[in-house]
A and B are shown apart, each in its own frame.
Chain A
Amino acid sequence: MQLTIDNKRIDVAVGTTVYDAAKQVGVTIPRLCYLNLEALGIENKPASCRICVVEIEGRRNLAPSCATLCTEGMTVKTSSPRVLNARKTVLELLLSDHPKDCLICPKSGRCELQNLAIRMGVREIHSIENAEMSTYRKDQSPSIIRNMDKCVLCRRCETVCNTVQTVGALSGVNRGFMAVVAPAFEQDLQDSPCTFCGQCVAVCPTGALTEVDHTPRVVRALADPTKTVIVQTAPAVRAALGEAFGMPAGTLVTGKMVAALRQIGFDYVFDTDFAADLTIMEEGAELLSRIHRMLEGDSNVKLPILTSCCPAWVNFFEQNYPDMLDVPSTARSPQQMFGAIAKTYLADRIGVRRDNLIVVSIMPCLAKKYECRRDEFKVDGNPDVDYALSTRELAQLIKEANIDFNALPDDNFDAPMGESTGAAVIFGATGGVIEAATRTAYELFTGKKCRQIDFHELRGMEGVRTASVDFDGTPIHIGIAHQLGNARKLLDGVRAGRYHLHAIEIMACPGGCVGGGGQPLHMGNAQIICARQQALYREDAQKPLRKSHENPYIQQLYNEFLGRPLSPKAHHLLHTRYFDKSTNN
């Protein structure tokens, strides 16, 4: 059908919104609540903010372009004086009860509301002295802070939490001025079914949802001469950190990141990838032992085995599948394996007492902040990992330290816990953990060298996918899901007998950890997430060693300290257990 937008004629398909049609003629209409999660086919368009209004000839009222469909012969004006006037008034009304502490707001500089105010040149808000201000209590969980005074009720968080993740922690509650997005009974996030995946934070346009900031504590530890402070960096961080310094998505900054961490003052710069290799040794051994038991006819064996690297996923199944707590792998996540080895084996090697060793992790994830506080990962109250910073917090720390990140030379991780293989790097992409496990499990199972290293059938962005890998005559069926809504689909399918699988990898975030809630905000943009994924596969391809069991420092760790995978010592340090946390039990 044909219509005219800002004097330009355009042909669009039936069902196109005015907002999308305008985009096709090169006009990006400002918007606040609207969010298109293209990769998921999910749109958030409550049409509640009224920023995207346009004038349509023959219609009395201005129309929200995000929720208005094009009709034949329509004439649209996206920036007539009437539209601009209304848009500015709407914005002023939104700002009238919004806190004005932009200078110290954690979202400052990345806030969509602030950007709109700048773009529209708002310099005063009429009758602001009469405006009533929201005074909702601040809710601080171990990972996420809810500051509802800054909420513009765009409902993006609700769409992500309910429709995408199917967690259902958030809902619009109350009405009128008291309306707010909150968990049931307005309880705290940490008492709700929230998994701390942080995807709500990744799409929040304002400072209403932000992460708990651990940088001040890290800085204090770094300044304390009695502490040895070591750092580990998760694989997904190196594929996204550059974005915070103006680099295009998918730029690998591994070397610069190491250099920056050293300059900030960490005593040792290590890699979570080392622990990812270790995870493969333990999880792979567990998978093989379950498969062997199955092949021997043991009917009690729990298959498919589920990965347990993702802390939001762990929270999700503890909440939603309390009857299946013995199904997931008992292997701890790489972050926690790293902490447990650092505070025993490494502390011994470098001669530092446990309580003087501070382990900091840099994670693409907000659930990691919760994970490192879990009681199972503490010894006499001392946590294996002391602080988990997000990629965003690291970027902040680098800026605060006045480091010219883009000009840094490449540096290398320290030995022994900085050495890793390509298998570990791809942990950050959906399908990566299971591909890494396949590379090792194949060789351990068949006793033969695995010629194939790249398992393209396990890669991709499909929400739920399955593939079979031939273990020299024994087909191993693998399932992969990313985003918790897809995890639920896959698991319900397994329960209903629709899938017969041996192993399942699940990651809570879109595209795996690369799309994590702690990364530079992806705002639902799948292209950014894919570019980060590709960066990780590039780093994997460049690595001299690409199978976890070939990591010489992992071999040394087993020889000197752990014995063998699943040994009693490995069990004690590298495995965990799960708890029934269903709210409806």
Chain B
Amino acid sequence: MNTTDHDEHPTVDGIPERERAELKDCQIQTIKNICHSFRHDEGELINILHKTQESFGYLPPEIQECIARELRIPVAKVYGVVTFYTFFSMQPKGKYPISICLGTACYVRGSEKIVEALKNELGIDIGGITPDGKFSLDCLRCVGACGLAPVMLIGDRVHGRVDPLQIKDILTLYT
């Protein structure tokens, strides 16, 4: 008979407490208000997540848990939606979030080189944030300004026909 042991696993000492930040009362109230404005309708989950991300900048676990509690749905479901849409982020964004377009037009006009230049200049990867919290770096697909390719968004501002050599100068606009 087979006597090898493959079933080592940690013993169960109650449910381990997962590390998570506590939300402040005013933050909980904000989420409650957003859910309320959508009548606590489960079908409005995407809109609720949109609004919440608009308020908080990102959707960390404790916020997803709070939304799940408000809508009385499993938090796994909320997480499923958050991870399905690239628009939703579980990472905080910088004061000036940078998005590079990697759509076809921008890509053929060298947007990848801009990504590289930004990575070097900021010392962060795609999805990262600078230690001072000023810039974060993301990619997206087409902002509908293909005539200006390659395009870079910083906050709401569109920078068109960007040259990798201009990156340093552009960033200084945001100090």
Q: Could you list which residues of chain A lie within 8 angstroms of chain B, going by C-beta atoms? A: 140-142, 162, 167-175, 182-187, 190-193, 212-217, 219-220, 223, 370, 373-375, 400-401, 579, 581, 583-584
CB distance from A57 to the nearest CB of B (A): 36
CB distance from A229 to the nearest CB of B (A): 14
| A173-B80 in contact given A216-B7, A219-B2 (Cβ < 8 Å) | yes
Contact of B15 among A170, A175, A216, A581 (CB under 8 A): A581
Asked if A223 and B73 make an inter-chain contact with CB atoms under 8 angstroms apart, the answer reads no
Nearest-CB residue, chain B, relative to A223: B3
Residues of B within 8 A of A583 (CB): 15, 65, 75
A-B contact pairs, 11 of them (CB 8 A): A142-B9, A173-B76, A173-B80, A184-B65, A184-B76, A185-B79, A187-B18, A213-B6, A216-B2, A219-B2, A400-B2
Asked if A217 and B74 make an inter-chain contact with CB atoms under 8 angstroms apart, the answer reads no
Residues of B within 8 A of A182 (CB): 76
Asked if B2 and A192 make an inter-chain contact with CB atoms under 8 angstroms apart, the answer reads no
- In the complex, whether B147 has a CB less than 8 A from a CB of chain A is no
Asked if A142 and B12 make an inter-chain contact with CB atoms under 8 angstroms apart, the answer reads yes
Nearest-CB residue, chain A, relative to B9: A140
Asked if A212 and B7 make an inter-chain contact with CB atoms under 8 angstroms apart, the answer reads yes
Residues of B within 8 A of A173 (CB): 76, 79-80, 83-84
Residues of A within 8 A of B64 (CB): 184-185
Asked if B80 and A172 make an inter-chain contact with CB atoms under 8 angstroms apart, the answer reads yes
Residues of B within 8 A of A140 (CB): 7, 9
- In the complex, whether B61 has a CB less than 8 A from a CB of chain A is yes
Asked if A184 and B74 make an inter-chain contact with CB atoms under 8 angstroms apart, the answer reads yes
* Bound Cα distance A219, B4 (Å): 10
* Bound Cα distance A174, B86 (Å): 9
CB distance from B139 to the nearest CB of A (A): 15
Asked if A184 and B78 make an inter-chain contact with CB atoms under 8 angstroms apart, the answer reads yes
Asked if B69 and A584 make an inter-chain contact with CB atoms under 8 angstroms apart, the answer reads yes
Asked if A175 and B84 make an inter-chain contact with CB atoms under 8 angstroms apart, the answer reads yes
The number of residues on chain B lying at the interface, defined by a beta carbon within 8 Å of a beta carbon of chain A, is: 30
- In the complex, whether B5 has a CB less than 8 A from a CB of chain A is yes
| A579-B14 in contact given A184-B76, A216-B6, A584-B65 (Cβ < 8 Å) | yes
* Bound Cα distance A215, B3 (Å): 8
Query: Which of B5, B12, B16 has the most chain A CB atoms closer than 10 A to its own CB?
Result: B12
Give chain B interface residues in 1-35, CB to chain A under 8 Å: 1-7, 9, 11-16, 18
Asked if A375 and B79 make an inter-chain contact with CB atoms under 8 angstroms apart, the answer reads no
Asked if A375 and B13 make an inter-chain contact with CB atoms under 8 angstroms apart, the answer reads yes
| A217-B1 in contact given A171-B77, A173-B84, A584-B65 (Cβ < 8 Å) | no
* Bound Cα distance A326, B46 (Å): 39
Q: Give how many A-B residue pairs fall within 8 Å (CB-CB).
A: 95
Nearest-CB residue, chain A, relative to B60: A185
Contact of B18 among A191, A214, A220 (CB under 8 A): A191
Contact of B12 among A190, A215, A217, A219 (CB under 8 A): A190
Asked if B1 and A174 make an inter-chain contact with CB atoms under 8 angstroms apart, the answer reads no
CB distance from A235 to the nearest CB of B (A): 26
* Bound Cα distance A175, B73 (Å): 21
* Bound Cα distance A186, B3 (Å): 32
Asked if B69 and A217 make an inter-chain contact with CB atoms under 8 angstroms apart, the answer reads no
Residues of B within 8 A of A214 (CB): 7
Interface of B is mostly: loop
* Bound Cα distance A277, B61 (Å): 46
Nearest-CB residue, chain B, relative to A176: B84
Give chain B interface residues in 66-108, CB to chain A under 8 Å: 68-69, 73-80, 83-84
* Bound Cα distance A172, B76 (Å): 8
| A171-B80 in contact given A162-B74, A213-B6, A216-B7 (Cβ < 8 Å) | yes
Residues of A within 8 A of B74 (CB): 162, 167-169, 171, 184, 193
* Bound Cα distance A263, B4 (Å): 22
CB distance from A383 to the nearest CB of B (A): 10
* Bound Cα distance A246, B153 (Å): 66
Query: Which of B6, B11, B79 has the most chain A CB atoms closer than 10 A to its own CB?
Result: B79
Asked if A373 and B18 make an inter-chain contact with CB atoms under 8 angstroms apart, the answer reads no
Residues of B within 8 A of A175 (CB): 83-84
Residues of A within 8 A of B5 (CB): 216-217, 220
Asked if A171 and B7 make an inter-chain contact with CB atoms under 8 angstroms apart, the answer reads no
A-B pairs with lowest CB-CB distance, top 4? A168-B74, A171-B76, A171-B80, A184-B75
Residues of A within 8 A of B13 (CB): 375
Asked if B84 and A400 make an inter-chain contact with CB atoms under 8 angstroms apart, the answer reads no
| A217-B14 in contact given A168-B74, A173-B83, A400-B2 (Cβ < 8 Å) | no
Nearest-CB residue, chain A, relative to B86: A175
Residues of A within 8 A of B7 (CB): 140, 212-214, 216-217
| A374-B4 in contact given A173-B83, A184-B79 (Cβ < 8 Å) | no
* Bound Cα distance A168, B80 (Å): 12
Given contacts A185-B64, A185-B79, A583-B75, 16 further A-B pairs with CB under 8 A are: A168-B74, A171-B80, A173-B80, A184-B64, A184-B68, A184-B76, A186-B79, A213-B6, A215-B2, A216-B3, A216-B5, A219-B3, A400-B2, A583-B15, A583-B65, A584-B75
Residues of A within 8 A of B79 (CB): 171, 173, 184-186
Residues of B within 8 A of A190 (CB): 12, 15
Query: Which of A162, A173, A584 has the most chain B CB atoms closer than 10 A to its own CB?
Result: A173
* Bound Cα distance A174, B85 (Å): 8
* Bound Cα distance A169, B74 (Å): 7
* Bound Cα distance A539, B16 (Å): 43
Give chain B interface residues in 24-65, CB to chain A under 8 Å: 61, 64-65
* Bound Cα distance A192, B76 (Å): 9
* Bound Cα distance A362, B4 (Å): 20
Query: Which of B9, B64, B65, B73 has the most chain A CB atoms closer than 10 A to its own CB?
Result: B9
Asked if A174 and B12 make an inter-chain contact with CB atoms under 8 angstroms apart, the answer reads no
* Bound Cα distance A174, B64 (Å): 15
* Bound Cα distance A401, B13 (Å): 35
Asked if B12 and A370 make an inter-chain contact with CB atoms under 8 angstroms apart, the answer reads yes
Residues of A within 8 A of B76 (CB): 168-171, 173, 182-184, 192
Nearest-CB residue, chain A, relative to B13: A375
CB distance from B98 to the nearest CB of A (A): 23
| A375-B84 in contact given A162-B74, A184-B78, A185-B79 (Cβ < 8 Å) | no
* Bound Cα distance A375, B10 (Å): 13
CB distance from B161 to the nearest CB of A (A): 31
Asked if A216 and B4 make an inter-chain contact with CB atoms under 8 angstroms apart, the answer reads yes
Contact of B9 among A170, A192, A212 (CB under 8 A): A212
* Bound Cα distance A186, B12 (Å): 19
Residues of A within 8 A of B73 (CB): 168
Residues of A within 8 A of B15 (CB): 190-191, 581, 583
* Bound Cα distance A173, B73 (Å): 15
Asked if B3 and A374 make an inter-chain contact with CB atoms under 8 angstroms apart, the answer reads no
CB distance from B62 to the nearest CB of A (A): 10
